[in-house]
Structure 1
Amino acid sequence: MRMKLAFLVTTALIAGPCLSLAADRGGVIDVATIGEPPTLDPMASTADLVGIVTQHMFETLYTFDKNWNVTPLLAESLPEITDDGKAYTITLRTGITFHDGSEMTSEDVLASLGRWTKLASRGKQAAGFIASMEAPDADTVLIKLTQPYAPLTSLLAFNNSAAIVIPSEKQAEPMAEFVGTGPYMLKERKADQYIQLARFDGYMSRDGESDGYGGARHQYLDEIRFVPVPDPNTRVEAAVSGQYAYVDSIPVESYDKLKSSSASEPVLLEPFGYPVFVFNTKEGVSSKLEIRKAITQALNMEDMLAAAFGSTDFYGLDGAFYPESYSWHSDAGVDGNYNLGDPEGAAEAAKAAGYDGAPVRILTSRQYEFHYKMAQVAAEYLKLAGFTVDMQVVDWATLTQRRADPALWDVYITHSPFLPEPALIGALSTSSPGWWDTPARKAAVDPFTSEADPAKRVELWANVQKVIYDELPLIKIGDFNAVAAKSTKLEGVDPAPWPYFWNASIAK
């Protein structure tokens, strides 16, 4: 679904392609990330950090262009959809080689999609609609569905819990060899020090112009090193001094400080997305809907946003999951359920629901400093409402591991960019941490995902949003802009929610 034209013109998250006609070739860049990724297998994790690193190593059949339309990557073209939306014929590009020198065929794609539907939360989401997958020949894959499933190509394009293509003989779980088709390949990984990627000389780029995550991918750099820098203040100082070519996730209050730096400049993604509190609906205190409602009733979203982002230049109070600039925008379910800030009423509601004083375990990390600040404010409101709060502050890699175990947490804090397809929202998958799986969810989500008509899907998304507010698998806090920093010498890097460094070069 395309965003409205006015939004694309003024505030698209992925800018147009850099038009440097003579980019310098060579050099190594260091990229400061918020921490150590829990894995380098993008199927096995929904963590953005995993996708940021591994999108340079692995590729999918499709990706997204600068306007968030699905565009071919390893596939030759968009799928041919027949049988009333239940058959997807995917023609593959030929001559594509993996990092080990072997040639990609439909056998590799078929094995990879099988692994994806078994292992990845996004793949499991699609698996319920897949009747069969087969390879009619070496250059073609045929996916047959039990019913139409509109988000399929978007799921195949997403770099989060990604449907990467890897050699058929390297499908181990967990991944043992990190062999993809991407423009860069793994050279060395030293835990908590760096992940070093080197140019893959056998890479075959698509023709034409670069176009968001799609189009041509140029390999100007010799190497890219991703360096974990967990402390946000350290990232700020490193950005100001120019220690790194790119620094991800900078606290917004440092924006003016970055502007005054001669070595780096701020990168503003506006609007970026929204922070969310995800509830554990499977076990523990928050598995009871009335308790989730009481927790939500207690929280003041504006106070949390102000603590996290400071100025309204960087946040907006909005309960809709898409801003007005998106065609997906709807206010369904928002009125009377968002930004209530009523701890006294919440205390009464919790008592009526039988709350017995058990701790509400809030899982968060300081590597995303705004997560932690929101958690602090939330904890105070919950205490005012009579809840016992157990704040569990861990590193981001540990958080992504713990959230997979329903016995360990009640609320975890994360965030999401505004996604081009609402079905990509993790909580809509019953296998995503939170494990929202109710008849009402199914009754709202299934018609939405099976409808092909874009206008009808917008209406059906409003129904899904209303059920989210009715059942509270997660709560949206508001909208926010994100800040990163890049060296004044780094060229060819466009603002993007998952920054990528093919097309990047260092000015001599």
Structure 2
Amino acid sequence: MFHRLTLTAAALALSAGAALSAQDTITLGMVLEPPNLDPTAGAAAAIDEVVYANIFEGLTRFGPDGAVLPALAQSWDVSEDGKTYTFHLHTGVTFHDGTAFDAEDVKFSLDRARAEDSANAQKALFAGIDTVEVIDPATVTVTLKDADGSFPFNMAWGDAVIVAPESVADEATHPVGTGPFKFDEWAQGDHITISRYDGYWGTPAQLSKATFRIISDPTAAFAAMMAGDVDAFPNFPAPETLAQFSTDPRFKVIVGSTEGETILAMNNRQPPLDNVKVREAIAHAINRQEIIDGAMFGYGTPIGTHFAPHNPDYVDLTGLSAYDPEKSKALLAEAGVSDLTLRLALPPPTYARRGGEIIAAELAAVGIKTEITNVEWAQWLEQVFKGHDFDLTIVSHTEPMDINIYARPDYYFGYGKPDFVALMETLTKTTDPAARSDLLKQAQEMIAKDYVNAYLFQLAKTGVANAKIEGLWENSPTQANDLTAVHWVD
């Protein structure tokens, strides 16, 4: 009897262990709720944080190390002149509504993204396309106006995912892609749920379901993690508590880098911010380390231009805008500016709200008053990003290698200097790595010396997860919570 009881207990223990190891659902925390779920018609990073590589796929994709990998295109050929890309597509692929994917969907998606009335937030990614031609259902040829060695990189962005004409009208609220997860529900203000798509063409996801819970308050985020209501918070909004998590065996802290250049953006279109001396004065009034320590609890790398420090072509230009309040006052006097009051719009992220209070105090110390307005993300997109109705704002640009945004005169901070536009056009046509590196360094120096914005720090990726979860990205080469390799372990 004793031996039978022992064996039964052991069997129960094994059964319990199997049940634990078989856990296949996950709840993730997110600070910001996406304004919609269509990455081809929205600028918010929170869209890609839900759908990139999970629901939607492009011809190519970014891997966790930033490498450009095949996705819906299993391979591609490039013509000798660098202008023609022939993509060979995977076959047997279906969208989540059961419709077949083929080259016609690629043509539809690329033509839609580059159309005159396109709502794509990164329309410049497609500006170099001359024609898109369907060769057969599994082959599509894209001919560019000029050679562009970065085209596979451009196609890896979330803005370049492939959509179908049958479902495109409802992507904002009911996204339909080809990825390993399909959309289930969106309880606005609370959560978004996706589940494994059993008809997926590639390696099936190990998770059966994932729920993204919207928790914007840092205190609530901490409480949710501690209570186990959330299994992982990839971009955790309360870095001051990371030390507490790191000493608790139930959790692991994941600290990496992002593509997020965090900047104090200035509206270059309107006086007095159209005066480079005023912009330089603002830059010298800011103590980067004080912001990193006070708003991010030490997490972040100072930057002096719009470029990631982990990129091999990065130039450290922080010295051009070193903290120097006396120089700031002198520059304002030279510009003939006094009694200056500027509007400072702060979106919800912790870096913006906490950092904004510090920057307001630093600007006050050199004689610049600020009127702070806390805005929700949708309002920021409408008022600041689209409407250009602001003086100053703080935001992290989390798109990969996006210094080319400074070539857009209609972009929200309104730079678009002709010399910079020409520099970017030359870069696009240049394929030699050494020459491209030199051009990128020139670009960094030009915007730093023009003090287009005040460059603060590279956003660190600070995450917390249950210690039994594997496969979450450590770094963020793009704005994503890629769940394709995420799983639970004993």
TM-score (norm 2): 0.86
Choose 187-196 or 129-138, whichever is displaced more.
129-138
Q: Give the corresponding residue for 1:131.
A: 130
Checking the alignment, whether the CA contact within 8 Å between 1:241 and 1:263 is kept in structure 2 is: no
Distance 1:260 1:87 in 2: 54
Deviation at 1:115, TM superposition (A): 2.2
Q: Give the corresponding residue for 1:249.
A: 235
CA radius of gyration, larger in: 2
Query: Alignment partner of 1:35: what SS?
Result: coil
2:60 aligned to 38, 49, 62, which one? 62
1:415-434 matched pairs, under 5 angstroms? 415-416=396-397, 419=400, 422-423=401-402, 426-434=405-413
Distance 2:264 2:293 in 1: 16
Q: Give the corresponding residue for 2:178.
A: 181
Query: Alignment partner of 2:104: what SS?
Result: helix
Deviation at 1:428, TM superposition (A): 4.7
Q: Give the corresponding residue for 2:327.
A: 345
Checking the alignment, whether the CA contact within 8 Å between 1:321 and 1:465 is kept in structure 2 is: yes
Deviations 1:336-369 (A, max 9, x none): 5222332x43234334435475632222234x22
Q: Give the corresponding residue for 1:396.
A: 377
Which amino acid in structure 1 is aligned with residue 286 of structure 2? L
1:156-175 matched pairs, under 5 angstroms? 156-159=155-158, 162-172=159-169, 175=172
Distance 2:138 2:94 in 1: 13
1:327 aligned to 297, 300, 312, which one? 312
Q: Give the corresponding residue for 2:364.
A: 383
Checking the alignment, whether the CA contact within 8 Å between 2:113 and 2:119 is kept in structure 1 is: yes
Choose 319-328 or 394-403, whichever is displaced more.
319-328
Q: Give the corresponding residue for 2:15.
A: none
User: How many percent identity over aligned positions?
Assistant: 22
**1:444 partnered with 2:423:** yes
Q: Give the corresponding residue for 2:213.
A: 227
Checking the alignment, whether the CA contact within 8 Å between 1:280 and 1:411 is kept in structure 2 is: yes
Distance 2:60 2:423 in 1: 27
Query: Alignment partner of 2:234: what SS?
Result: strand
Q: Quick one: structure 1 residues 35 and 271, their matched pair in 2 at CA, closer, same or farther if it must change by over 3 Å?
A: closer
Q: Quick one: structure 1 residues 320 and 292, their matched pair in 2 at CA, closer, same or farther if it must change by over 3 Å?
A: closer
Q: Give the corresponding residue for 1:18.
A: none
Deviation at 1:166, TM superposition (A): 1.0
Deviation at 1:52, TM superposition (A): 0.9
Which amino acid in structure 1 is aligned with residue 149 of structure 2? A
Q: Give the corresponding residue for 1:8.
A: none
**1:120 partnered with 2:120:** yes
Distance 2:387 2:324 in 1: 27
Which amino acid in structure 1 is aligned with residue 365 of structure 2? L
Distance 1:181 1:379 in 2: 46
Q: Quick one: structure 1 residues 323 and 494, their matched pair in 2 at CA, closer, same or farther if it must change by over 3 Å?
A: closer
Distance 2:223 2:259 in 1: 23
Distance 1:320 1:171 in 2: 37
Checking the alignment, whether the CA contact within 8 Å between 2:181 and 2:195 is kept in structure 1 is: yes
Distance 2:366 2:337 in 1: 11
Which amino acid in structure 1 is aligned with residue 302 of structure 2? L
Distance 1:412 1:144 in 2: 39
Which amino acid in structure 1 is aligned with residue 481 of structure 2? P
Which amino acid in structure 2 is aligned with residue 408 of structure 1? D
Which amino acid in structure 2 is aligned with residue 371 of structure 1? A
For this pair of structures, how many residues does the alignment match? 464
Q: Quick one: structure 1 residues 371 and 488, their matched pair in 2 at CA, closer, same or farther if it must change by over 3 Å?
A: same
1:76 aligned to 74, 77, 93, which one? 74
Deviation at 1:202, TM superposition (A): 0.9
Q: Give the corresponding residue for 1:19.
A: none
Checking the alignment, whether the CA contact within 8 Å between 1:242 and 1:263 is kept in structure 2 is: no
Q: Give the corresponding residue for 1:487.
A: 466
**1:150 partnered with 2:149:** yes
2:105 aligned to 99, 105, 108, which one? 108
Query: Alignment partner of 2:426: what SS?
Result: helix
1:275 aligned to 253, 262, 280, which one? 262
Query: Unaligned 5+ residue runs, structure 2?
Result: 1-18
Deviation at 1:231, TM superposition (A): 0.4
Checking the alignment, whether the CA contact within 8 Å between 1:427 and 1:474 is kept in structure 2 is: no
Which amino acid in structure 2 is aligned with residue 170 of structure 1? S
Distance 2:209 2:470 in 1: 15
Q: Quick one: structure 1 residues 236 and 431, their matched pair in 2 at CA, closer, same or farther if it must change by over 3 Å?
A: farther
Query: Alignment partner of 1:108: what SS?
Result: helix
Q: Quick one: structure 1 residues 350 and 150, their matched pair in 2 at CA, closer, same or farther if it must change by over 3 Å?
A: farther
Query: Alignment partner of 1:388: what SS?
Result: strand
Deviation at 1:271, TM superposition (A): 7.0
Distance 1:54 1:277 in 2: 28
Choose 267-276 or 298-307, whichever is displaced more.
267-276
Which amino acid in structure 1 is aligned with residue 321 of structure 2? Y
Q: Quick one: structure 1 residues 165 and 505, their matched pair in 2 at CA, closer, same or farther if it must change by over 3 Å?
A: same
Checking the alignment, whether the CA contact within 8 Å between 2:292 and 2:457 is kept in structure 1 is: yes
Deviation at 1:229, TM superposition (A): 0.1
Deviation at 1:48, TM superposition (A): 2.1
Deviations 1:206-249 (A, max 9, x none): xxxxxxxxxx5x41222111110000121122223322111132
TM-score (norm 1): 0.83
C-alpha root-mean-square deviation of aligned residues, in Å? 2.7
